[in-house]
Amino acid sequence: MNTIADTSAAKPDPRAMRSFAEFYPFYLSEHSNRTCRRLHFVGSTLTLVCLAMLVATGRPQYFLYALLCGYGFAWIGHFGFEKNKPASFKRPLWSFMGDWVMYKDIWTGKIRF
């Protein structure tokens, strides 16, 4: 089981990281609060539902709904519970990748939900 790093230690600068493998432990340290992780999980699940609705109906507003669900739930988790800025402000692509790796890791039991 992956452990979520202690957030009291000094954080490395994610912009200096050279690989996603180096970034992902930092990403997990930014998600040490269980409620924040749960909100990410709910937002990611709703994002997938919205994207499925986009494909099923062809209605483009579902893309907007997907963005609102994904980022809305995550940002509530960060600002309301984690008390930090989302990693997407520091490394947008790797943060997006981290969201989906963490989502998979929660589903597979590697990260505690």
55 contacts 63 by C-beta, under 8 angstroms: no
9 contacts 30 by C-beta, under 8 angstroms: no
99 contacts 28 by C-beta, under 8 angstroms: no
- pLDDT, tens digit (0-9, with 9 covering 90-100), for 25-38: 999 999 999 999 99
- pLDDT, tens digit (0-9, with 9 covering 90-100), for 46-69: 999 999 999 999 999 999 999 999
What is the pLDDT at residue 9?
Answer: 58
pLDDT band at 12 (very low <50, low <70, confident <90, very high): confident
Q: Three-class SS of residue 90?
A: coil
